[in-house]
Amino acid sequence: MENKPQGSTLGAFKFLLPAVDGYIVRNDIIQRRFLTCELAEEVVDFSTTGAKIAAFRYDRSPGSVLKEAMNSAVGVICVKPSPENMERLETEIQARLAFPWIVDKPLPRRRLALIDGKGYPHRSTGNLGIYRAAKALGVELVVVNKEGHWAQEDAIASEWRDEFLPCDITPDAGLPDRIVASLSNLQRPVDCITTYTDGLLPAVAKAAEKMGLFTNPSTAVDICNEKHRTRELAPEVNGGVVSFTAKTAADLERLLKDKTLQFPLVEAITQNQLNFPGTTSMIETHICGPEVDANFVLMDGEVLFSEINDDFPSTADTDEHGNRYFPPSVPPSFAELSTIIPSILPTDEIALLKSTLSQTLLRLGFRYGIFHLEARIVNSRMHFSNTPDGLDLVPRDNIRDGTPEPRVFLVEINPRAPGHRETIAIEYIYGIDYWALHMLSALPKGSAAPDDEETLAINTIMRSLSHPLAEEIQYPIYVGFIPTKQDGKMVSSNLDNLPEELAKYVVESRVHIEKGQMCKAQGQDGEWPFVAFINVAAKMTGAEGRLQARTMGERVTEAFKYVVE
């Protein structure tokens, strides 16, 4: 054996051997499930998409066991040097891979049209997740976008997509027909179509219906696209809250003659018309209570996975007494600042949110998909308050007999995966890839018989990929948004040069405004009003992990500096 330099450490490797015959649900499953494993120096998958693997047999002769094991391995983990790490890794493997990730049937080969191919994957963590999921699942992508999109160039796009189709994807009344016309020009037809873009969801559902392809009802998607129609659908969810629409200040004045409103009143319809001409404003009662994001994975009407996270107040938000959470020196804005996953609301309130919101989705007619909902829990037993440890949810001290029971107020429904910052965080915490599940949800399902083999194969893989990591390795994450503060041109930022004591907690981050690009304060023109985002993961679980994630997240936010001139 080669002599090692004095003081060096031999590396240890853990080879993962299949216990059953079958097909791996995605060819990077081991790497994706070990994102937060600090024992691993590197994780590598050996499997090939769609290839059948054979279970490792222990009845080999002693001399060939090691060779056969290395040939049969589906992945390997390079373990960080430490005598006890190999033993600790056994526990980690059980917590991360104790679910059926080798299945009987492979995912059927499917050709999917992706409407709006987003930006180049290597420049965006979110877009990388979409294309990585397609490659790992073996789904062929036909990217549909306008002429000149990066996916049109074979030299840079061939590794990410199968084909590019030019199409004007302006979200107007003619878009469904343009999609249908464009897709009819393909030499090989697509099996399904989808999008991850809010403004295109209704048109994509309509186009799928026109082509006879599998989709959620376009009527349901249309309702979600308008908050006022969503309110009309589920009045019982919102407890009779006053809600109506107006286009102009004159419309509002006329409507107010027949309505009784409560204070405080915030009237911004004139400002809305200035910033977004021609849009309709919705007017409704101001609702207090902790705000949450609620995400659901539906398969044939069954909730496979769901989670709730806490959406922290913005600088313009107030408590039930009208007091701002932030000092007067901080400019008021309703741009979101941070989210912490998972929520620490009481167990029964979490259950109420999940049951109420999932039933609303089913009542709309949704059966498959990833859904991102925003809601408030009214009459919650917790509220946001400034504490010695900072702003956070704490128990209320005014709960008495006769206090109204908690109820859910639905803010909005988005029939798609949450934004990429939250989607990334969910994969780190739970091992659940919403991008992949969104794609699987769009694949065609047999309608003739419930035991259709291809539908069963798709559903089996969806169920497999909806298994969360064990609770003992779910590390809370702080998702922070750094808002723009002034108009000007981006000169520099220090996100890649944070002190190591902070950088080690940052699992994902991105500066949205590149050097030389212009930014505007508070996004008054409707553009994304943030310079950057950060995902900061705790090294501990439970309440201690939440405090650590929030504390380190706030420290990273304070340490982030950028120069605009």
Task: Return the bridge partners of 409, or none.
Answer: 376
Quote the CA–CA distance of 132 and 25 in Å, as a whole number.
Answer: 14
Which ranges constitute the DSSP H helices of 14-106?
29-33, 65-72, 85-97
């000092």: which residue's tokens? 327
pLDDT band of residue 330 (cuts 50, 70, 90) is confident
What digits encode the pLDDT tens for the residues 282-309?
A: 666 667 899 999 999 999 999 999 999 9
pTM of the model: 0.91
CA distance 229 to 239: 15
For residue 7, pLDDT over 50 is answered with no
User: Exposed, middle or buried by CB within 10 Å (0-12, 13-18, 19+), for 370?
Assistant: buried
Report which secondary-structure segment, H or E, holds 209.
helix 201-211
DSSP 326-361: S-TTSPP--S--EEEES--S-HHHHHHHHHHHHHHH
Identify the bridge partners of residue 519 per DSSP, sorted by sequence position.
488
| pLDDT tens sequence across 108-143 | 999 999 999 999 998 888 899 999 999 999 999 999
DSSP, collapsed to helix, strand or coil, labels residue 551 as: helix
Q: Is 264 exposed, middle or buried (0-12, 13-18, 19+ CB in 10 A)?
A: exposed
Does the pLDDT value for residue 402 go beyond 90? no
Classify burial at 559, counting beta carbons within 10 Å of its beta carbon; exposed 0-12, middle 13-18, buried 19 or more: middle
Name the packing angle between helices 420-430 and 434-442 (round to 10°): 110
Q: Is the pLDDT of residue 3 over 50?
A: no
Q: Quickly state the pLDDT bin for 264 (edges 50, 70, 90).
A: low
Indicate the average pLDDT of the chain: 88
Residue 49 pLDDT greater than 70, yes or no: yes
Portion of the chain with pLDDT greater than 90, in percent: 66
**HSE-CB of 383 using CA atoms within 13 angstroms:** 17
- For 453, phi then psi, to 5°, come to -60, -40
- In whole angstroms, what is the distance from residue 305 CA to residue 311 CA? 20
